[in-house]
Chain A
Amino acid sequence: MPFVTAKTQKRAYDVIVVGSGAAGGQSAYTLCMDGAKVLMLEAGRRYSPETETPMFHTPDVAPLGGADTPDKPFGFYDATVDGGWDLPGEPYVRASEEDAGRFEWWRARMLGGRTNHWGRISLRNGPYDFKPRSRDGLGLDWPISYEDVAPYYDKVELLIGVYGSNEGLENTPNSPPGCLLPPPKPIVSDYLIAQRAKRLGIPVIPGHRAVLTQPLDYQRSPARLHPGNAAAQRILAADMRSRGACLWATPCGRGCSVRANYQSATVHLPPALHSGNLDIRTDAMVYEITLGKDGRANGVSFVDRISGKQRHAAARVVVLAASACESARLLLNSRSPQFPDGLANSSGKVGRYLMDTVGSNLSGQIPLLESLPPLNEDAADGHQLYVPWWLYQDQHAGKLGFARGYHIEFNGGKRMPGFGTAAGLEWLTGGSYGARFKQDVRRYYGSFVYFDGRGEMIPNDQSFCEIDPKVKDQWGIPVLRFHWQWSEHELKQAAHMQKTFADIIDAMGGKPRDPPQSDGAKAIAPGGSIIHEVGGAIMGSDPKTSVTNPWCQTWDVDNLFVTDGAVFASNADKNPTLTIMALAWRAADHILERMRRKEL
């Protein structure tokens, strides 16, 4: 039985993987498909997207029309259960409550973690993104280059299914033939944005998302992914065949019962379970990595959230994939006489260089999009097109006043009517009510466009997490305290986003809902709110200044690995999930190789 309990958990495993999201799912998948015996520990409950997803549910059958509440921060139908920025019994501490120093920590305590609700945007980092310091003298270089990671981007795209196109733009890598699925058709507002942005010199190209615009190539991809491993090929082929293609309806953030988008629980875990090599224990809140007398990791201790009892699991190798901050917390809480400042922390860098994505948004109303005929614009649920960062040369020449770029995500169209459809229209209607209000709503429905900037933050010494000396969670586990500070680079970037959005809206003949914000400090979303936090156990080439080596292996404990976003040495504008998976696959290959050589 793959889901185990205290009674059925085995005495020892080859590898323990802490966490079941993008990093944990990919780590376990790669290890299990090549024969390693893996125990996955997930703090939240078991979750089955096939039966729990509110596919096609309409807002009239949801509480409060599906509006967000503290219980469901992204709305009732968001896939996340037992998650949010504030979890009962699981506090964290902010060193500052000021907006400028505010960091919010999202957690999703459920099988698959935050892969259940994420935007599925799957962009590759480019060559510049691994060597930012070499390019502009700021931040940190990674000890690896794009060429090291590229083969793993290929593999992840083939495995999970990512649509997109190859445009050959600067620092926006192409994928080899056969890796990407065809991009979806744009909707009317996409066409208009593309036309008008291009007049401003801003490129608009197909997005990249982990959504199956057509069935996966189950005949060829398994052999490309698992050469020489017939069993893995067979399992993967069967699993790829069983995934449905996109239904062009019902939002991805609810999850997908036909498995047409990527969730760890629908893509990584089923084949890993079919291999017979994966045991999963849910409701297991890991709080410490345990050490043998030799100073190497020999397992982890966890709280069984159902019984409240403390338990242990043993393995030859421990992989942390608990999310950047949770993995840092685990290391810092694993103190011993040998490691008084926390495990793998001889550099003092655990918890350091915490980063999020710079976020800012602006919406506008476009008269050209008013009163269009009925259209089904559900499409791929957004991100049919996007704007990659396009000002590399101006920026490198010092013309922008900030060092790193951003991409633009946008949306529009005649989405499912609901609570927001006719809310706050006074700025357009002059406060109409009655028959005129109904006419106004028909006129304006579908005429709004929404722009979101997603930009790179440079790591700094003022943004980090540490263990709070006093506060503990409901199980008595010491919690994190967050320190946060943006630099001028991020604030100016956020202001630049606002101006760009307003320029595009103007070029579309529309007007912005609010005036664009020229003060970056007011334009920028609080730290953590974009939920792209990375860093905290960065990889490097020097044990004195980094926590892991280029293989995600901690410098101090050779059988302890970190495969989530904690190892990121920079946080490119590209959404981190695809890179997390690529690095996790690469690290798992390395673990397998070392195990074959009896080094682990």
Chain B
Amino acid sequence: MDRRTTLKWVLAAGAAWPLVQRRAAQAGTPLAARTDVARAAAAPARGYGRDPDLVANYHPGELWPLTMTAVERRLAGMLADIIIPADEHSPGASAVGVVEFIDEWVSAPYPAQQRDRTLVLGGFAWLDDEAARRFGKGFADLDTPLKHGICDDICDESHAATERRDAARFFALYRDLTAGGFYSTPAGRKDLNFIGNVPLTRFDGPPTALLEALNLL
């Protein structure tokens, strides 16, 4: 199978919808039903239904099976850590469960997630093809600078070369998924110094000194 052609076809079919437009697009036909990306149409389990238990704690794999292969998960973690590496403030993405989050996402039985599955798995295939074409290796086996070289070509959709525009859409989605998973965790909240979501007996508003500094008083 020519993965590049497949990815192109899939992308042309409209998979790379901006996340913010999803809400309006839920009623669309699952792309996976029409795609020939390997396993992209992995038999979807059922969703959590209209009346799930809202107070239970859920973990990836409990509601529907995770479907990424070991090879895909390795690539998923590698790419997630390129996007969100560990630094002095917080761990990297894979250390806080982002691979599991993304696997849950692309394995979910909902139309938007099925569309994303097609794009994510197609994007993984593109990375390997690109690495093989340029360096004769799989993406996972490249040294870090070479990996970054490929990412640099696709990290900004508006400046990506025409033939890499589809791959750039994949990278944008994957960055959103990685960040979505990461900043949802306690480590992500700490990274952003989030101090809300705690019960207070009173809410005093911002400190006066800050409002004065901003000339807002």
Contacts and interface: CB of A to CB of B under 8 A. Distances in A.
Contacts of A431: 155-159, 171-172
B12 to A, nearest CB: 21
A65 B96 CA distance: 13
A63 B83 CA distance: 23
B214 A188 contact: yes
Contacts of A248: 199-200, 202-203
A254 to B, nearest CB: 8
Nearest to B211: A191
Contacts of B159: 430-431
Interface in A81-98: 81-84, 86-88
A379 B23 CA distance: 26
Interface string B51-86: 110110111000100000000000000000011110
A86 B50 CA distance: 11
Contact of B51 (A68, A82, A418, A445): A82
Nearest to B182: A422
Interface string A408-434: 000000111111111110100011111
A65 B192 contact: no
Given A64-B113, A417-B184, A424 B55 contact: no
A420 to B, nearest CB: 8
Contacts of B202: 248
Contacts of A249: 196-200
Contact of A438 (B87, B157, B195): B87
A191 B216 contact: yes
A192 interface: yes
A192 B216 contact: yes
A416 B155 CA distance: 26
B179 A441 contact: yes
Interface residues of A, number: 80
Given A77-B54, A423-B176, A434-B82, A71 B49 contact: yes
A200 to B, nearest CB: 16
B98 to A, nearest CB: 10
B166 interface: no
A498 B137 CA distance: 51
A64 B104 contact: yes
Contacts of A58: 184, 186, 189, 197
B196 A60 contact: no
Interface stretch (A268-276, A367-375, A473-481): A367-375
Interface stretch (B14-22, B36-44, B121-129): B14-22
Contacts of B8: none
Interface string B84-107: 110101100000010001001100
B54 A64 contact: no
B135 interface: no
Interface string B5-30: 00000000000001110110011000
A54 interface: yes
Contacts of B142: none
Contacts of B32: none
A373 to B, nearest CB: 7
A417 B188 contact: yes
A429 to B, nearest CB: 9
A70 B111 contact: yes
A376 B110 contact: no
B72 to A, nearest CB: 18
A185 interface: yes
B25 to A, nearest CB: 11
A435 B101 contact: no
A65 B85 contact: no
B93 to A, nearest CB: 10
Interface residues of B, number: 76
Contact of B200 (A65, A68, A247, A430): A247
Contact of A64 (B23, B55, B97, B105): B105
B1 interface: no
A61 B192 contact: no
Given A53-B55, A188-B206, A437-B175, A375 B216 contact: no
Given A63-B104, A422-B183, A442 B192 contact: yes
Interface in A184-235: 184-188, 191-192, 195
Given A52-B55, A375-B195, A437-B83, A426 B158 contact: yes
Contacts of A328: none
B176 A438 contact: no
B51 A419 contact: no
A87 B47 CA distance: 15
A56 B197 CA distance: 6
B108 interface: yes
Interface string B169-183: 001100110011111
A77 B191 CA distance: 23
A45 B49 CA distance: 15
A59 interface: yes
A254 B197 CA distance: 13
B193 interface: yes
A64 B57 CA distance: 12
A442 B169 CA distance: 23
A368 B59 CA distance: 38
A57 interface: yes
B194 to A, nearest CB: 6
A435 B26 contact: no
B156 A426 contact: yes
Nearest to A368: B214
Contacts of B22: 68
Contacts of B194: 374, 414, 416-417
A518 B139 CA distance: 46
Given A418-B180, A433-B151, A373 B48 contact: no
Contacts of A82: 50-51
A265 interface: no
A423 B49 contact: no
A588 B51 CA distance: 33
Given A416-B189, A442-B192, A378 B197 contact: yes
Given A65-B180, A417-B189, A380 B203 contact: yes
A424 B18 contact: yes
Contacts of B216: 188, 191-192, 195
A69 interface: yes
Given A375-B206, A426-B156, A65 B18 contact: no
A58 B97 CA distance: 15
Contacts of B143: none
A596 B57 CA distance: 53
A443 to B, nearest CB: 10
Given A57-B55, A188-B214, 5 more contacts: A52-B55, A64-B113, A247-B200, A419-B184, A431-B158
12 contacts: A53-B55, A60-B186, A61-B59, A68-B23, A69-B113, A71-B48, A185-B205, A246-B203, A376-B195, A417-B189, A426-B172, A441-B183
Interface of A: 45, 51-54, 56-73, 76-77, 79, 81-84, 86-88, 184-188, 191-192, 195, 246-250, 254, 368, 372-380, 414-424, 426, 430-435, 437-438, 441-442, 445
6 A-B pairs with the lowest CB-CB distances in the bound complex, closest first: A431-B156, A185-B205, A422-B179, A419-B180, A374-B193, A59-B184
